[in-house]
Copies of this chain bind each other. A is one copy, B any other.
Amino acid sequence: MLTTERKSLLLARLAQTGRLVARDLAAELALSEDTIRRDLRELAAEGHLLRVHGGALPLSPTHRPMAQRQGMQVQAKAQLAQKGAALIRPGQIVILDGGTTHLALVAALPKDLPCTIITHAPGIAAALEPFPKIEVILIGGRLMRHSMVAMGAETTASFARIRADLCFLGVTGVHPETGLTTGDAEEAALKRIMLGQAAEGVVLATEDKLGTSSPWGIAGLNTVRVVTTGDRPVWLGA
């Protein structure tokens, strides 16, 4: 197995399972633990994962378990959620990405809003139960653990068959030059497709994302409307 190939495998595995254990990987790949540790060290140096004793974990706050993320920036997210919810007009077809901000958006929706919501995040779908007039389309696929959204070929194909009016996209970085970015290549590709299926894209960005950049690009800032907690929408490019 090629070294680069192995590193990719490690990252993919991390995205899928949410953790890597050096000893298990060495046994599975029939390599010494030293080699695995070297890989993990280098991947950590490149900023692709968090090295911990015994293996590695996904990086940074956006990759932490849901329960832990939910407590962060509650009021900022609630405020963003309000603004986001106000963008949805009756009858529209809306693609809703995963993430705690969008979970807050669901909570902020009017109870009798009639529309169609398409999502690949089971948590979002489950939260839509109390809305009698919202039709929910669940997109299937293999569930990524750290982000709790479906991904893979099946997911991509399902989204490709859809046309929507609005697409709420979750990102980890919003930067004037690199545009919208996220921490995983596959994730970035899927988000790009989701965005392409909708007439209009919206990103609800908490302040900590503004001016930051993640490894994988999704699209330029001019392709979406960026909503922040500031008093008026901020177009970073302007």
Contacts and interface: CB of A to CB of B under 8 A. Distances in A.
B148 A142 contact: no
Contacts of A142: 135-138
Contacts of A145: 129, 132, 136
Given A54-B2, A55-B2, A123-B122, A8 B65 contact: yes
A180 interface: no
A191 to B, nearest CB: 17
Nearest to A52: B4
User: Copies of this chain, how many?
Assistant: 2
Given A67-B12, A140-B141, A150-B138, A52 B122 contact: no
Contact of A13 (B9, B67, B122): B67
A148 B135 contact: no
Looking at A5, A52, A122, A132, the one whose CB has the most chain B CB atoms below 10 A away is: A122
A205 B211 CA distance: 55
Given A12-B65, A55-B2, A154-B158, A17 B133 contact: yes
A18 interface: yes
Nearest 10 pairs between A and B by C-beta?
A140-B140, A122-B122, A136-B143, A122-B125, A12-B67, A4-B52, A138-B150, A122-B126, A12-B68, A139-B140
Given A4-B53, A5-B19, A8-B57, 19 more contacts: A2-B54, A5-B52, A8-B65, A11-B68, A12-B64, A12-B68, A15-B70, A15-B71, A19-B132, A66-B129, A125-B143, A126-B148, A128-B143, A129-B145, A137-B141, A137-B142, A138-B139, A138-B150, A140-B154
23 contacts: A2-B19, A2-B57, A3-B54, A4-B50, A4-B57, A5-B57, A8-B68, A9-B65, A12-B66, A15-B68, A15-B70, A65-B130, A122-B126, A129-B145, A135-B142, A135-B143, A136-B142, A137-B140, A137-B141, A138-B138, A138-B139, A140-B154, A140-B158
